[in-house]
Amino acid sequence: MGFFSDLKVLFHLTMKPIRGKDHASRLESFYAGQAEHYDDFRKRLLKGRQELWESLDFPADGVWVDMGGGTGSNLEYAAESIPQLKKAYVVDLSTSLLECARQRIDERGWTNVEAVEADATTFRPAEGQADIVTFSYSLTMIPDWFAAIENALAMLKPGGVIGVVDFYVSRKYPGDGLQRHSWFTRSFWPVWFANDNVFPSRDHAPFLHRHFEPIAFVEQLAKVPYIPFIRTPYYRFIGRKPRQAGQALGENDE
Ligand SMILES: C[S@@+](CC[C@H](N)C(=O)[O-])C[C@H]1O[C@@H](n2cnc3c(N)ncnc32)[C@H](O)[C@@H]1O
């Protein structure tokens, strides 16, 4: 059963062409045939999510927005904190993945959780502001990722927290204390992932450091199922929205 579900997912990841005239229909073309087996396979591919959610403090009566939340699997990592929240949103553009999220929310009886079909670059919670905004492996799939980060910054309360985990590659000349990936790593992974419209970037992490006060930044390597010997780089970033405009680390550097 596991191997045959994997085959189906692998077919969608490697062989099936992605079609669609806009971003939302391309996402649906990619995910519709694999939504049912999504969580099992991605648990082995998308590392660092549990660690991200274990590092986040969910405030009582807070609002949490999970951008590109897909099947809502991240809700499980935060399950103990959900009852104390005022509201949690799973925001995504894929109808098939959101269906899985809605089923999960119903089964868990979470009346304060909503799965919303919307774009991460424009979605705003009905409450006006959020305490926590997260992106797990979604920034690399959002073409206007800078707009998604700016939207998160705008909706967060001063002192609110952003949490990101995703694939990336380093810059050729990264800043002090940051990892430098080999030419092969910097060249191979962007080409390999582009097949699935996933774009590991050298700019996401610097952009996050520029706009938020960093609380944690961890760079790691993950095994990829069925691909021996090589590892793909991913990072976890947790940052705080500055309490006063212009206080993020990068903006003080100039
Ligand atoms: C690799 S999946 C990760 C899903 C989930 N966060 C997880 O950790 O399992 C990326 C998700 O981002 C969603 N996505 C891509 N572009 C988006 C956008 N502009 N707005 C909202 N969601 C988007 C995709 O539909 C997909 O569910």
Cα 220 to chain centroid, rounded: 16
> What are the boundaries of each domain within the chain?
46-252
* Residues 121-146 pLDDT 10s: 999 999 999 999 999 999 999 999 99
Question: 72 alpha carbon to ligand 1 midpoint, in Å?
Answer: 10
Closest CA to 198 of 159, 145, 144, 142: 142
pLDDT of residue 113: 98
Question: CB of 164 closer than 6 A to ligand 1?
Answer: no
State the pTM of this model: 0.88
Q: Report the relative pairing of strands 113-117 and 227-240 from DSSP bridges.
A: unpaired
d(CA 4, CA 157): 45
Are 62 and 85 a contacting pair, CB within 8 Å? yes
Instruction: For ligand 1, pick from 92, 123, 150 the residue to mutate: most ligand atoms within 8 Å of CB.
Output: 92
pLDDT of 253 reads: 40
Q: Report residue 254's pLDDT band, with 50, 70 and 90 as the boundaries.
A: very low
Mean pLDDT of the chain: 89
**Which CATH code fits 46-252?**
3.40.50.150
Closest CA to 72 of 121, 142, 136: 136
pLDDT, residue 8, reads: 58
For 5-48, write each residue's pLDDT tens digit.
655 555 555 656 677 888 888 888 877 766 666 666 667 678 99
**Is any atom of ligand 1 closer than 6 Å to the C-beta of 91?**
yes
235 close to 217: Cβ distance less than 8 angstroms: yes
